[in-house]
Amino acid sequence: MRWQAGLLAAAVAVALGIGGGYWWGTRTLSVRPVQEASNAATPATTGAKAARKILYYRNPMGLPDTSSVPKKDAMGMDYVAVYDGDEPHTASNLIKISVDKVQKLGVRSEPAAMRSLDKVVKAVGRVEVDERRVFAVAPKFEGWVERLFVNATGQPVSKGQPLFEVYSPELVSAQREYAIATEAVRALKDGGADPQASMQRLAEASLARLKNWDISEEQVRALAQSGEARRTLTFRSPVSGIVMEKKAVQGMRFMPGDSLYQVADLSSVWIVADVFEQDIALVKTGSQAKVSISAYPDQSFEGTITYVYPTLKPETRTVPVRLEIANHRQLLKPAMFAQVELSVGGKAKVLTVPISAVIDSGTRRIVLVQLAEGRFEPREVKLARRTDSYVEVMEGVEEGEQVVVAANFLIDAESNLKAAIGGFGHSGHGATPGAGAAAPQSTTAATPNPNTASTARGVIAAVPGTKSPVVGHRAEGTVKAIDVKAGSLSIAHGPVETLQWPAMTMDFKAANSALLAGLQPGSGIAFEFVERSPGEWVITTITPRREAVRADTKPAAHQGH
C-alpha cells in the first residue's frame, strides 16, 4: 500500500509541474510581444521628435523662385524641399558662419535707413585778385617821368593820390593852343559873330584834346585863368588800393599806352577752387561755401559761388569754380592757398548704408545682408550719391535690413574660399544640400589647377565669357537635334544628381563650335555643363558613347527649358 501511495504522489507532482510550465510559457509568450512593441515604439517617437524643419520649397531647375507650400513648376516637376540647416547652398547663396566665428571676426551690422545726404564737396583753391578791380595808369602821349610820388610795389594808395609827374612837349603845345584860343575868344568878344564862333570852336577842340589826355579839371581851370602852360602834368591814382605793379622809373621815357602803374582794389577778392569732375554737377552758382586759410587756422571765411568755368583742366580732371569773398581787413593775400568746403545735396531722404558696408570688386558692388545670427546673404547693389560716411542705395537692399559694416571683408574672404572648393557663387542656386556639405571634405586638399577643380558631385570649370569659375555638372543622353548656326543642341538626358533633375529633353548651348563637330542626331554622349547665367546652360565637354541612353532611361519630352 505504501508503494502505491508514493506512486500516486509522484504522479500528482509531475502533473503539477507540467501544468505550471505550460502556464508560465503561455504567460511569457503573451508578455514578450507587448514588450517588443513597446521597445519598437520608443525609437519611432524619438525619430518623430528629431524630424527636420522644412523652411521652403525651391524650384527644381535652380531658378530663383521659392514657395512656402509644395507645388509644381510649369513642366510638372515637384518643388524641392529645403530643410533647416541646408539653405546656405541651395536657394540664396547664403554664407553660414558659426556664432563663435562671428564673435571672433568682430562682425557688426547696421540697418539700412532713410537719411538726408548733405555731401560736402572739398576742393583746393587759391586767392586771386578780382579782375574787375584792377586799374592800369598809362599816359596817352609820349613823355618823360620827371618825379615819382609812389615808388614801391605793394604800397597802399588812396583815390586821387599823386603817383608821378611827367613832361611832354606835346602836352605843353596843347596847353598853349588852348590858352591862345581862350585869349582870342575874349579879344573877339566885340567882333563879328563868325570870327568869334570859329575861335570858340578852336578853343573847345583844344580843351577836348587836353581832357582826352586825362588832364584834370583843376589843371584845366588853372590853365584857363592864368593863360600859362605848365611844364609838367601830375597823374593820380584812379582808385584806392594796392600798387600791384610799378614800371615807372624817374627820368625814363615812355610811349603812348605804356602801363606805368597797376593798382588793385583788394577789399573783395576771388577764390578760384579746382573741383573734381565727378563733383561738378553738384556745384551751383549762388551757393554758399566755407573757406579756410592755413595762415589763419582759427578763422573761417564765407564766400559765394559766382561762376563755374566752362572748361576742364585735362591734367588734373578738375573744373575751376570762382567764389567772391569780402576782404576788408586785407587778411587774404593774392596767391594764398585756400581749402574750400561746399555743402550740397537735397533735403529729401534717401535709402542709405554706411560706406564701410560696400565691397567694391571693380566690376560690381556687394553688401552682406544679415538674415539671422551667423547667416549672411551677398547682394549686388546699385549706388548713387555718397558722403564721407554714407552712400545712397538705389537697388539691392530694403529699408531696415541689417547690413554688415565691420569684418565684411573677412566674411567675403570666407565665402570666396567656399566658392573655390564647394561651388559657392553658383548663380542658379541649384546645388543640392549634399553637394554643398560634402564639397569641403572632398576638395580642400586638392585644387592644383585654378581653372578646374572637382567637387563631390560636380565640377568647377572655367567657361568662355565668364569672369570666375562656376559649378559644372555631368550627365548622359542622346542628341535629338543640332543647330550649328546658333551653337545649340537638344539632348534627351538622364537624371542629373547634382541638380536633382529628373530625366528630360532640353536645349543646351555649346561653349564653342568645335564641340559640335562630328555629332549627329541619335548620337549617344556623356557631357559636362554649367550655368553661365540664370536659365542658360552651357556644355563645356562632350564625350561620344558607343551606345545611346537605354530605352528604360529615355526621358520624357520637356521642351522649352
Task: Over range 72-85, report the average pLDDT.
Answer: 77
Q: Which residues are within 8 A (CB) of 354 and not within 5 positions of it... i.e. 6 or more apart? A: 110, 389, 390, 391, 403, 405
Q: Is the pLDDT of residue 83 over 60?
A: yes
Predicted pLDDT of residue 518: 83
Residue range 376-404, pLDDT digits in tens: 888 889 998 777 788 889 998 999 999 99
Phi, psi of 400 (to 5 degrees): 95, -15
Q: Is 462 left (phi over 0), alpha (psi -120 to 50) or beta?
A: beta
**336: nearest Cα among 125, 126, 131:** 126
CATH topology of domain 444-557: OB fold (Dihydrolipoamide Acetyltransferase, E2P) (2.40.50)
pLDDT at residue 7 tops 70: no
Handedness of CA 257, 262, 264, 269 (dihedral sign): positive
Whether 268 and 291 have beta carbons less than 8 Å apart is answered as no
Residues with Cβ within 8 Å of residue 533, at least 6 apart in sequence: 427
Nearest-angstrom CA–CA distance, 265 and 260:
17
> In this predicted structure, what is the pLDDT of residue 125?
94
Report whether pLDDT(532) > 80.
no
Summarised one tens digit per residue, pLDDT across range 328-357 is: 888 999 999 999 998 776 667 889 999 988
What is the model's pLDDT at position 337? 95
Residue 40's pLDDT is what?
43
Q: Is the pLDDT of residue 375 over 50?
A: yes
SS (H, E, C) 109-156: EEECEEECCCEEEEEEEEEEECHHHEEEECCCCCEEEEEECCCCCCCE
The per-residue pLDDT for 52 is 73
- Model's pTM, two decimal places? 0.46
CA distance 306 to 293: 20
Q: What is the pLDDT of residue 311?
A: 94
Cβ-proximal residues to 185 (8 Å cutoff; 6+ apart), any chain: 196, 199, 200, 203
DSSP-derived 3-state class of residue 463: coil
So what's the pLDDT on residue 234?
A: 87
Question: Does 65 score more than 80 pLDDT?
Answer: no
How confident is the model over 31-53, as pLDDT tens digits? 444 344 444 444 444 444 457 77
The answer, yes or no, to whether residue 17 has pLDDT greater than 60, is no
Q: What is the pLDDT of residues 125-135, one digit of tens each?
A: 999 999 999 99
Per-chain mean pLDDT for the chain:
76
**Angle CA 119–121–123, to nearest 5:** 165
Strands 452-454 and 459-461, bridge-based pairing: antiparallel
- pLDDT above 90 for 196: no
Residue 327: Cβ within 10 Å count: 19
Sequence spans of domains, the chain: 1-51, 56-89, 95-118+349-424, 139-258, 268-338, 444-557
Is the pLDDT confidence value at 171 over 90? no
Q: What fold characterizes domain 95-118+349-424?
A: 2.40.420
Q: Homologous superfamily of 268-338 in CATH?
A: Efflux pump adaptor protein, beta barrel domain (2.40.30.170)
Give the pLDDT of residue 550: 43
